[in-house]
Amino acid sequence: MMQKVNLGMIGGGTVGSGVFHAWQHNGTLMAARLGVQLGFRKIAVKAFDEPRPYRIPRALMTTHWQEVVHDPEIQIVIELVGGTGIARTMVLAALAQGKTVVTANKALLSAHGPELFAAAAKHGVNLHYEASVCGGIPIIKSLREGFVANQFPAIYGIVNGTCNYILSRMAAEGADFADVLAEAQKLGYAETPPDLDVDGFDAQHKTGILASLAHGFWVRHENIHTEGIRSVSRMDMQFAQQLGYTIKLLGIVKRCQMRGANSAVQVSVYPTLIPNAHVLASVNGVFNACFVRGDVVGDTLFYGRGAGKDATASAVLSDVADAALDLKHGTEVRVPPFVDHARKGRVLPMDEIVSRYYVRLSVVDKPGVLAKISAILAAAKIGISSVVQPEGHEGESVPLILMLHDAPNGAVRKALAKIGQLTAVKAAPVMFRVESFD
């Protein structure tokens, strides 16, 4: 007789009903593949009649989440509430009851990861979080299990579909940020207000989780240098394209130096110029991609939908399947959720990060201006690799584009502050970093 594993879920809105629907659709197939029958016992919802894309039978629903957590028959609790308040209480309560937890909540992990993983370890259960990063793309499982024999010199992620949609439209249509954002909000691709996405915080949460997993020390979100996409203009898109680049919001996790066990890692999120020949440059629309470099496997790419009820449901049920197999074989923690194996690791401060740069200046078109700018950069030991200046009218303000050689971020930041004070420079310098993927 096939073993049965009972599921409880907290959250029955868009994603929760999507998980239930996917289980209804493919639960029999999952049972055949796993040798375990999965069944929903109770689903906690905000209200019985709240709008949801898929129906959940009334008999399964409750408006009291405690009924899910404290039901002795439920072995796996799925948390799909979101946020960092009540969700933390729910997850800790479920772990304390000795239940395996599956969550899609990247904000919760970003804010309270160490506490949650410690609670899971204390109670001898597992905390699964595949759906927290890149939706349906199995990036967490790949890093934890598929690439278990690898160290990770570099991981680059396009991990926010809203930003990628906006930047893709700007590049394709020569459109302005504000116009594309307004349309994205109408179509439901962007929230109102859109700050969590367009200011880079959603990508920050996900990038921090990837960095922590890859390098074995908890990366605190306040240590992740984060810039959003509001500063990307139609003009910058056009100049980048002329120079052979595409601008993407990139989450970067890159090992910079090794001193014994003390690894220094760049963990950052910012708009980045990517060479058009690189595979990430062709990831468009709401799609996500994660480019992973392993020291043994080499370069790999994961591509797919990073959000939405169905992609998220796929990832949630993948975690449920793993948890069910662990229960079937009596090994609740076959693969630990997070292994703190390099406690001395640190995030390298942004000013110490070395990269190439795109700089756009608005300057008065008269002789001697470029010489003054070059002198400031030379004094800071920053080399110029190319200059683009559209032909303008002498005496008027025109754009001047500089591509800079590798230099520390701090040196470039200070040099641009000095350049911005020149009387011939009419607006604050615009700077984006360039990634060559060497």
Span 423-433, mean pLDDT? 96
* Tokens coding 335: 């693969």
Cβ within 8 Å of residue 330, ≥6 positions away:
none
What is the count of structural domains for the chain? 3
Cα–Cα distance between 344 and 340 in angstroms, integer?
Answer: 10
Span 103-114, mean pLDDT? 94
| Residue 301 and residue 323 in one domain | no
Q: Are strands 61-62 and 36-44 parallel, antiparallel or unpaired?
A: parallel
The answer as to whether 333 is a domain residue is no
The answer as to whether 424 is a domain residue is yes
Lowest mean pLDDT among 14-23, 67-76, 233-242, 365-374: 365-374
pTM score of the predicted model: 0.94
The answer as to whether 344 is a domain residue is no
The answer as to whether 357 is a domain residue is yes
pLDDT at 338: 76
Span 232-258, mean pLDDT? 93
| Residue 362 and residue 409 in one domain | yes
pLDDT at 342: 54
Percentage of the chain beyond pLDDT 90 is: 87
The answer as to whether 73 is a domain residue is yes
- The answer to whether residue 331 scores a pLDDT higher than 90 is no
pLDDT at 263: 72
| Residue 111 and residue 173 in one domain | no
pLDDT at 390: 81
Considering only CA atoms, which of 336, 235, 248 is closest in space to residue 289? Answer: 248
Query: How many residues are there in the chain?
Result: 438
Collapse the DSSP code of 127 into the 3-class scheme (helix H, G, I; strand E, B; otherwise coil) and give the result.
strand
- The answer to whether residue 363 scores a pLDDT higher than 60 is yes
- The answer to whether residue 423 scores a pLDDT higher than 80 is yes
Task: Kindly compute the dihedral angle of the four CA atoms of residues 348, 350, 352, 358, in this order, to the nearest 10 degrees.
Answer: 140
| Residue 159 and residue 245 in one domain | yes
| Residue 290 and residue 356 in one domain | no
Averaged pLDDT score across all residues of the chain: 94
pLDDT at 307: 84
The answer as to whether 343 is a domain residue is no
Cα–Cα distance between 347 and 267 in angstroms, integer?
Answer: 6
Collapse the DSSP code of 405 into the 3-class scheme (helix H, G, I; strand E, B; otherwise coil) and give the result.
strand
Q: Is 206 noted as a catalytic residue in this protein?
A: yes
| Residue 281 and residue 163 in one domain | yes
Given the residues 42, 99, 206, 309, select the one marked as catalytic: 206
Span 420-434, mean pLDDT? 96
Lowest mean pLDDT among 17-21, 70-74, 216-220, 402-406: 216-220
| Residue 257 and residue 321 in one domain | no
396: confidence class by pLDDT, cuts 50, 70, 90? confident
- CATH number of the domain that 416 lies in? 3.30.70.260
The answer as to whether 391 is a domain residue is yes
Cα–Cα distance between 237 and 246 in angstroms, integer?
Answer: 7
Q: Are strands 384-388 and 397-408 parallel, antiparallel or unpaired?
A: antiparallel
Residue 124 φ then ψ, to 5°: 70, 30
| Residue 87 and residue 204 in one domain | no
- Domain with 415, as residue range(s), is 352-434
The answer as to whether 337 is a domain residue is no
- CATH number of the domain that 185 lies in? 3.30.360.10
Q: Position of tokens 């800790």?
A: 92
